Amino acid sequence: GAVVSQHPSWVICKSGTSVKIECRSLDFQATTMFWYRQFPKQSLMLMATSNEGSKATYEQGVEKDKFLINHASLTLSTLTVTSAHPEDSSFYICSTRSNTEAFFGQGTRLTVV
Amino acid sequence: GESVGLHLPTLSVQEGDNSIINCAYSNSASDYFIWYKQESGKGPQFIIDIRSNMDKRQGQRVTVLLNKTVKHLSLQIAATQPGDSAVYFCAENPGFGDGTTLTVKP
């Protein structure tokens, strides 16, 4: 079964509202969680790396105040898109790794209207 | 930053043929590479990985080749099936290349 469970799989929200995406690791201690964004027909772009119990490290150009990441436990990491705008519409994916393999969530399709 | 990229954006093969997907990387210090498959609307799926101390690694119907001299990776899929149709990415921890879309014609 899936090691990483990501919810919701899709969400539609109004411009200006906030959306929270959850990634839960199942039977696995996710010390590190990677958050990606993917636009249509493009590759995954790393947004940030979060480590359990500490602040996330954001990639250049990613606004940390807009994309809030919380990794308070070894089994749960969340990404909150604050004050969402249509340009934030994208496919968001979380990922964690073991020594031998990487595991991805199912992805969240966010549409901001 | 360092980049990992793919040579060709699309590849079309006949069912039963072998497929070869190529990938170039720029960081000569990279020591771990992963190939992923992504079907439409889904998250990436791990296929196979290889460490820099290896030149070749085989899985079920897939083989990854690493040429450190020219900083090149390839993924070979044997007897390609329609279910193999997807976008394939090579990745160097944790960044992703641009992806190659593989289409398998019946």
Q: What is the pLDDT of residues B27-65, one digit of tens each?
A: 888 888 999 999 988 888 889 999 999 999 999 999 999
A-chain residues within 8 Å CB-CB of B46?
101-104
The pLDDT, as a whole number, for residue A27 is 81
Pick from A23, A29, A19: nearest CA to B43? A23
pLDDT at B6 over 60: no
Write out the two tokens for A69.
Answer: 């990441």
Q: The tokens 């590479």 sit on which residue? A: B33
Which residues, in sequence order, are bridge partners of residue B62? B77
Share of chain B above pLDDT 70, in %: 92
pLDDT at A25 over 70: yes
Around Cβ B45, how many Cβ atoms within 10 Å? 14
- Asked if B42 and A44 come within 8 Å (Cβ–Cβ), the reply is no
The pLDDT, as a whole number, for residue A3 is 85
Of A101, A102, A107, the CB nearest to B42: A107
DSSP one-letter code for B69: T
Indicate the range of A79-88, A90-99, B5-14, B51-60 predicted with least confidence: B5-14
Q: β-strand B100-105 against B10-14: which pairing, if any?
A: parallel
Number of H helices, E strands in chain B: 0, 11
Closest-CA distance of chain A to residue B89, Å? 8
H-helix or E-strand spanning residue B77:
strand B72-77
B86 and B102 in contact (C-beta within 8 Å)? yes
Of A46, A103, A104, the CB nearest to B95: A46
Q: Give just the sign of the alpha carbon dihedral A52, A55, A57, A63.
A: positive
pLDDT band at B1 (very low <50, low <70, confident <90, very high): very low
SS3 B56: strand
The pLDDT, as a whole number, for residue B5 is 53
Calculate mean pLDDT across residues A52-57. 89
Calculate mean pLDDT across residues A65-88. 94
